[in-house]
Amino acid sequence: MGEYLDTCRWTDRQVGEVLTRLTDEGLLDNTAVIFLTDHGISHARANSSSTTKGLHVPLVVRGPGVSPGLVRDDLVEHIDVAATSLALAGITLPTGMQAHDLFAKDYVRRDAVFAARDRCDETVEHIRSVRTAQYKYIRNFLPQRPHLQPNAYKDGKPIVQRLRALHDEGKLSPLSEALLFAPTRAPEELYDLAADPFENEKPHRRSRVPGALLELRGRLDQWMDATHDQGRRPETEKKVRQRHGRVSR
């Protein structure tokens, strides 16, 4: 934890150096600065996962046209940074762009955000999720696999090594065992984030909100169709089609 806090302090120092240079060169008042990260901390149920810890990242924007001190709690997606950057630079957004300009006068808040996880490094995965203000729905297309699959990058982390050692020694809590080391997982997960913000509730209890399950299941299907989700076809099949000159779109 101490090392993690040190990285936060180091980041704060680096951001300060950038702002100082912009000030010294007379560019700060005409520059939009966007601060964000790519995903959660690199350990179990965070980095590369579809949990809140893996998807919720900081987003801080300052610059011309941005009200100072304003804090928003609406749902945004990473792709929205692209549209926002173009708009701040005075560039018209391309037709059909899925991203939203977060500061547009006609901006309409998203009522849901979507995320995808496929292969990372050598670890094969296939997960899709949708989140609203209250609920998170996750679909595991490979439920026969555990959540904490082997991965050279993560397995080199001291925290993951410690978790695996405690698992081997039988010293993990039942909740940690169920969330990380169960040999299989539920094909679908639904969380009420107001009551269960850390997404720890067991799958069999999620049937208490069948309406939310049906709604989000349908919304995810619609999103995968609308975006022509390429993850629905295995990589091996794609490679075969490419070798034979048939590239799917």
Question: Residue 151: its pLDDT value, please?
Answer: 92
- Which residues on neighbouring strands pair with residue 197, listed in sequence order? none
**In which element (H, E) is residue 167 found?**
helix 158-168
∠ Cα 223 111 58 (to 5°): 95
Contacts of 248 (CB under 8 A, 6+ apart): 230, 233, 238, 241
**φ and ψ at 91, to 5 degrees?**
-100, 130
Q: Give the SS3 label for residue 188.
A: strand
Q: Residue 241: its pLDDT value, please?
A: 60
Distance CA 214, CA 18 (A): 47
**Euclidean distance between CA atoms 163 and 157, whole angstroms:** 10
pLDDT reported for residue 29: 93
* Distance in angstroms (rounded) separating the CA atoms of residues 130 and 139: 9
CA dist., res. 51 & res. 249, Å (int): 29
Residue 113: DSSP 8-state: E
What is the structure's pLDDT at 117?
A: 94
DSSP secondary-structure letter at 123?
B
Q: Check residue 234 and give its pLDDT.
A: 78
Residues of the chain with pLDDT under 50: 204, 249
- pLDDT of 210: 76
